[in-house]
Amino acid sequence: MSHPASTEQAERLRIHRLTAAAGDDFAADVRRGLTSPRKFLLPKYFYDALGSRLFDAICLVPEYYPTRAEASIFESYAAEIVEKVRGGARRVTLFELGSGSAAKTRRLIAALLATQPRLTYVPVDISTAALEESANALLGDYEGLSVAAYAADYDTALPRLSENFEEGALALVLFLGSNVGNFDRGEARDFLRRVRAALRPGDRLLLGADLKKDAPTLEAAYDDPVGVTAAFNLNLLARINRELGADFRLRDFRHVALYNEAEGRVEMHLESTRAQTVRLAALDLEVRFGAGERVHTENSYKYSLDELSALAAETGFKREHIWLDPAGRFSSNLFVAS
């Protein structure tokens, strides 16, 4: 539901629109992925309007535990997290990378506003519409809140975060969900080093990370029996049909999710159920698929607690505290910039 902004709310909202048109990138990335010797599609393209709604539905299925596990951490520990973050600082400025609807963030916003009269929240998201909707909802609920949003990808936004640093205020950056798991190990290190470069010594990062566990639990989380995750994965082909004039027959592909224990990651694929040729008119391209051939669409890396401590140390942080959900499935990690 959209929330109309009052004049007073509008004065507390700034959105920096840094996104460029992505259509050409989508076409180029699809061509590159489907002509690769091992075919792939990039997961950032899951999130068209339907894909975003399907992901929201995934978060509700019983088998997909990460969203609920992280929410339970904030429900139990939001005040403690704020206390640990603040240390001796008088104020905190809150940043979030990949903010989406900011549903889980509300508990931290409320906890921060319980300890300081005003709070600046700086969300970063690729979707301007998502930022506008979530910001207006938050501003309607929290009088002491101001929002300075960036409609941008992470690399574009990170150098701009310092525009919102306040003297005497610590920066707390949120990178929630299992978003870090979408990077491979080297990419995760590189990304967190870029986050660190955007911060000052003593600033904080709260990092959500899913933990390693048994394969059946992990595979069920990414291949629910109702088929919501399958629909989410297959919707990527529907998007290619719509935007690039392709003729993928979705019923001729199936969703595959498996846990690669050696790599510590869940892999998602789209598998061709028969030998077939697909034409992409906008690319003037024909792509042949063998029966059983897979298109890799996403990895979700899982971590041990020791690996998270090492990740902090390798990227210019120190892991100061960790919070777990009651079942010990998911972790919220407080990293302090060295």
Residue 2 has pLDDT above 60, yes or no: no
CA torsion, points 80, 217, 52, 297, in degrees to nearest 10?
Answer: 120
Is 0.85 topped by the overall pTM? yes
Give the pair of three-digit tokens for residue 304.
């041990």
Q: Residue 1 — very low, low, confident or very high, per pLDDT cuts 50/70/90?
A: very low
The angle at the Cα of 317, spanning 305 to 125, to the nearest 5 degrees, equals: 90
Residue 3 has pLDDT above 60, yes or no: no
pLDDT of residue 23: 54
Residue 62 dihedral angles phi and psi, to the nearest 5°: -60, -35
Residue 281: helix, strand or coil by DSSP? helix
Percent over 70 (pLDDT), the chain:
96
Q: Which residues are registered as beta bridge partners of 294?
A: 271
Give the pair of three-digit tokens for residue 248.
């993928």
Residue with tokens 């929201």: 56
Instruction: Report yes or no: 64 and 55 within 8 Å, Cβ to Cβ.
Output: no
Instruction: Report yes or no: 153 and 125 within 8 Å, Cβ to Cβ.
Output: no
Across the range 84-92, mean pLDDT stands at 91
Distance between the two ends of the chain, CA-based, in angstroms? 41
Ordered by where they begin, the domains of the chain are 7-19+64-213+304-337 (3.40.50.150), 29-61+216-301 (no CATH)
Interval 268-326: pLDDT, tens:
999 999 999 999 999 999 999 999 999 999 999 999 999 999 999 999 999 999 999 99
Q: What is the DSSP letter of 152?
A: S
Q: In sequence order, what E strands does the chain have?
A: 13-17, 91-97, 119-125, 145-151, 169-175, 204-210, 253-260, 265-272, 276-280, 285-289, 294-301, 317-324, 330-337
pLDDT of residue 49: 84
Q: What is the β-pairing status of strands 145-151 and 330-337?
A: unpaired
Give the pair of three-digit tokens for residue 280.
């992409």
The candidate with the shortest Cα–Cα distance to 298, out of 42, 54, 37, 82, is: 42
Interval 159-193: pLDDT, tens:
999 999 999 999 999 999 989 999 999 999 999 99
Interval 5-59: pLDDT, tens:
567 788 899 999 986 654 568 999 999 999 999 999 999 899 888 998 899 899 9
Q: What is the β-pairing status of strands 265-272 and 276-280?
A: unpaired
